[in-house]
Every structure is written in C-alpha cells, then in structure tokens.
Structure 1
Amino acid sequence: MITLTDSAPRSLSQAERAYRELREAVFAFRLLPGDRFTESDVARQLGCSRTPVREALTRLQNENLVKCYFRSGWEVVPIDFTVFTNLYETRSLIEVHAVEQLCLGADARVDRGVIDRLGLLWRLPKAEQVTDISQAAALDEDFHLELVRAAGNDELVAILSNITARIRIMRRLDFEFDRRIYQTYDEHVALLDLIAAGRTVAAKAYISEHIEDGHREVSRITVQRLQQARVKSLG
C-alpha cells in the first residue's frame, strides 16, 4: 500500500505538493522499488484530483524514479545492482577522462576556471557547510557535472547527466550522515588541489577512488534500508 505523509507545505500548488511527497516517499523507501500504485491511490491520500498527480508522476518518470504501465498504473523503478555497478563504472570513465583534460589543460575547449569557481563553493569552514541531505546531494551532483562540463565535451556531459538521474535514488543515501557530507567537502577540495597543480596521475586515481568509495557506501546502505523497510512492512 502506498504511504504518504502529506507534509509538503499547503501553500504549494497541488502538482508540486504531490511531486515532493512522492519523491520523498521513494527516497525514504516508504515506496519500495517495484511497488505498484495508481494515480487514484495518490490523489485519495493527498485529497486532490488525478491531474496534478499525473503531472507530478510525469516529472518523476523523467527523473527515472517511477515508470508508467499503460492501463496498469505506476511502478517505483526497481533497483538492479548490476545496472548500478555498470552506471558507476561508466561514470568513473567519464570523470577520469575529464579530470585528465583539466589537469593537462591542452585542449582549447577546457575551462580551468572551474577550479576557482568550484573552490568558492567547497572551500568553506565546517560551520558553513551544507548539511541538508537534499541540498548536499544536489551540490555534489553539480560538482561532478561541472568538472565534466569544463572539460569541453558536451556529449559526455549529456551521458553523465543521464547517469546522474538514474543513480540519484542510491547516491542520495551517501549523505544520510553528516560525516559523509564533511568527508565529501574535504575530498572535493583535495581533488581541486590536485587538478590545479596539474598532478594528472594522482588526480585520476583520486577521482576514481572517490567515486568507487561512494558506490560501495551507497550499495551497503541501500541493501540495509531495503531490508529494514521490508521488515517494517511485514510487521
């Protein structure tokens, strides 16, 4: 059964409120991967019509969080760990290449000014660092996309943008604990320093390990959260 909290501000439009409620239900595993539901289920819980619910679900489908089955309702996109491993591997290949280009700075398309721009966002005292999960996750996504964008290959940016959307449900879990957020700030600054110094080999190894470490952590947390949610649903 679909379970929503209906906690989004009432001042929002019905479509925006439905979007936020459903998105948070997916991220919090109140709606589990593979769960099926209908627009009527959501509309009934939120006390609105199906039209804003359909608009919200279309947005979530564009984010690869749910998918529609003609005449059969909606489903939370199942988690396939093999697919996620492949996506993280592809992400790593793209970002290692981007870091190499930024270190070398030989291509006219490369924008090394990104080092200073990102530095302003990530070289912050601990007291000023963002600790909200959603904001931290969004900042992290932007950091990695900006590095690839600065390397000058728009096709790689498009591919990484797609991968980012597809791994978002797992990647967000990496920021459930403050220590991981603070660690991310430290690691991003360390990477920027390596790029600024032109230390190509070290920077490529660092970004590779940074991504793999995140993959290991979110995989572990995802399994744990799924087990907890399923036990809770049975209870």
Structure 2
Amino acid sequence: MPDTPARNTGAHVAYVELKRQILTLQLKPGERIYEPAMATALGVSRTPLREAVRRLISENLLEQQPTGGVLVPVLDENVISELYEVRAAMESLMARNACLKATAADIEALHGILARNAAVVEFADDAMQQGMALHAKIAGTAGNSWARRFHDQVSSQMERYRHFTNSTQERRDQALSQHRTLVEAVAGGNPEKAAKIAFDHVMAARDAALRAMSGNGPGIS
C-alpha cells in the first residue's frame, strides 16, 4: 500500500498544526472547524484532516457537536480548576520524590534553570518556558514514570490556559519566588516542605489563570 506513508504523514502534519493553533488560541475558543477551508489552509486533503480531527477529539482538544459540527472547546473555569487540582497533586508527589533522589548534579541543574528564569522574568513567554523547564527537571529527578505520564497528559490539556497564569509581572515575580523556595526544599532534602510548596505554587497559578480568564469575555464558560 504505497500511499499509506503519505496519508499518515498528511494526518500527522494536520494534527500537529491544528493542535498548535488550538493550544496557542490562534483557533479561538468556540470556533468551528470548516473542513474544506481548513484542509486548504493546511495543504492536505480532507481524509488526513479527518484523521487529525478524530485524534484531537479523542484528546478533548476538539468537540464533536450533535449536529455533526466540530468546535474548539470553550475555556471552561470548572475544567481549569479540575486540571490544576490534579496537576497540583502530581507536582506535589514528584517534588516529594525528587527530594529523596536528587543528586548534586540535579541541584546544580535546577539552580541553572532558576538563574535563567530570573534573567527573563520580565518576559512572559520566556519566563513560562523556564518555569516549565524547572518542573520538568523536578519530574525527571523524581523518577516516577506513572506520575510523569499522568502529569504530561494533564499538562497537554492545560496548554490553552497556561499563558493566563503569568500574564502580569506580579505573578511572574511570585512564581519565581516560589520556584526558588521549591528548589531550596529539594536541595535541603525536605520532602514535606517541597510537596507543600509545589502544591501551593500550582494552586496559585490556577487562581491567577481564573482571574485573568474572568475578564476575557467570549469563549469563557
């Protein structure tokens, strides 16, 4: 079946690009996906586009309507609360485990990320990337593959909300301070303190996101 690789490649390209547009809010919450126009815009035929759409529906990043239409899900405050609660539990567990397993090299790497975080704290996107890097390093240090797997699934769902969490300088400064105390707890081998800091940090991000979302009008439910 010589056409299979091309079809799979087209579906993957469509999936990656559609997902990027959804997560960056380029496709607006509540926006409908019009198949012919989208296929043309992505440079694929309708068959691989449909494969990509089905995959995104299975990931809850697109929503199938009873009428047959496909929409970008609205930004739902209840959903974001649930996602952040689950992520807080995972981050807390991984911070606790990281305290027990961190090597001197791990601590040095965390301090390096902190330094980069501090250097870019005035820039929302860069600060967010360094924050994500720090949490990823802690997750890798913790070494719990199931917690990491569930955390990654939740994080993927949260991408649409993440930019709301550091939209103000006050929140970015607060997050950096929390990152510092978290690294101190991990470096000091204090699992209970690290677990609490990680949990509280994620819940503070949730509160910041909900405050920012409340003023964004359409697409919020």
Aligned length: 205
1:150 to 127, 130, 141: 141
Partner-residue secondary structure (3-state), 1:72: coil
- Quote the RMSD (CA, aligned, Å): 3.6
2:3 is aligned to none
Compared CA separation, residues 174 and 142, structure 1 to 2 (3 A): same
Percent sequence identity is 18
Q: Is the 8 A contact 2:98 2:141 kept in 1?
A: yes
1:88 is aligned to 84
Compared CA separation, residues 49 and 169, structure 1 to 2 (3 A): same
1:31 is aligned to 28
Compared CA separation, residues 158 and 187, structure 1 to 2 (3 A): same
1:117 is aligned to 109
Partner-residue secondary structure (3-state), 1:224: coil
1:54 is aligned to 49
Aligned partners of 1:76 and 1:24: how far apart in 2? 10
Q: Shift of residue 190 of structure 1? A: 2.2
> 1:197 aligned to 2:188?
yes
1:57-206 equivalences in 2 (<5 Å): 58=53, 61=56, 64-67=60-63, 72-103=68-99, 105=100, 110-112=101-103, 113-124=105-116, 126-129=118-121, 131=123, 133=125, 135-206=126-197
Q: Shift of residue 195 of structure 1? A: 1.4
Partner-residue secondary structure (3-state), 2:79: helix
Q: 1:87 is matched by which residue type in structure 2?
A: L
Q: Which runs of 5+ in 1 are unaligned?
A: 1-14, 231-235
Q: Shift of residue 186 of structure 1? A: 3.0
Q: Which has the higher helix share?
A: 2
TM-score with structure 2 length normalisation?
0.72
Q: Shift of residue 81 of structure 1? A: 2.8
Say which structure, 1 or 2, has more relative contact order (CA 8 Å, 6+ apart). 2
TM-score with structure 1 length normalisation?
0.68
Aligned partners of 2:163 and 2:148: how far apart in 1? 20
> 1:19 aligned to 2:17?
yes
Aligned partners of 1:187 and 1:124: how far apart in 2? 15
Compared CA separation, residues 146 and 55, structure 1 to 2 (3 A): farther
Aligned partners of 2:172 and 2:205: how far apart in 1? 11
Q: Is the 8 A contact 2:110 2:134 kept in 1?
A: yes
Partner-residue secondary structure (3-state), 1:123: helix
